[in-house]
Structure 1
């Protein structure tokens, strides 16, 4: 009798297990559209569940550039081959930037601005017409102190040269950091901002600066 009872218990347990397996298999293989009709069954979608998938925001990296046509390139005003080589590089830079919907700022010193007139090729006007920015890069002498009036005239001469080429206001400049009072000179020349400030800007300031940033370090490294 005891053996018969054990057999019945084993068979009953087996049937329960088989029933559970059958139910799980039925649910697993049931088409997903049928699952939606059964409110008692929920399926978690790891791709869309807002509690599982964190919201992502596209990151944007902004890069800015300025291109200096140096005041030291004196040949750009008098040697056409030299001028054309610089002009070609400026146009190549614009072509490349435009391939990526980027905008350049081309800041010129006096020689290249004069070359635009001397060789009848107004590259700076083209820069503006193509949607890029223009500016002036005076290259104020860094290692000697100029009277403020002379420093102002130095900067203004370069601004005026650029104004002859482009129909826009020139309100900023770069390349003025020096021992001279470049701040006052820039303002008096008509600049409302200075960009591209480098360590040379400290040379006109009191020694209230980082301990290692001495005049000797700035000038000679």
Structure 2
């Protein structure tokens, strides 16, 4: 078991993420969606704020959500000061409610880090928030992942992930099932990288 549940782990992790490249999944969904033009995006588990910054720079209004107490100060450092298009919510996923109506929901490697009952409730919130024509870009951990079995996390099979996407048009689906590196060291990754569209 890694120390990802230890106090201070995510603050340390996020501090090291502020200068990395934008995740490929975020690049891909932004290309599919086109310029923000004032439309609304939600960044769930915004962490160091790299994707939040990229969305703001492309003209999106962003609601950024993360559980770490220092989230707002960290985001403001990453984006270079206050931004009229940014709303910050400091909240654990188990307490997230009333998401704004959104044209894009991005959750990069964040949704699995909650219990299944919290995951299911938040997924319902996400689906309700998505406007017609909106896009969802998520990374969901699979059952072959090294961390599978951790009761504080959620791991799904491919059929379970596809069931979550019922009624959506899948634009990108890639199943990663291979060894790699995590922040805490080597591990086996099993991740479904998915982008879906609300017809």
TM score, norm. by length of structure 1: 0.28
Structure number having the greater strand percentage: 2
Larger radius of gyration: 1
In terms of fraction of residues, the more helix-rich structure is 1
> Relative contact order (alpha carbons < 8 A, sep ≥ 6): 1 or 2 greater?
2
**TM-score normalized by structure 2?**
0.30
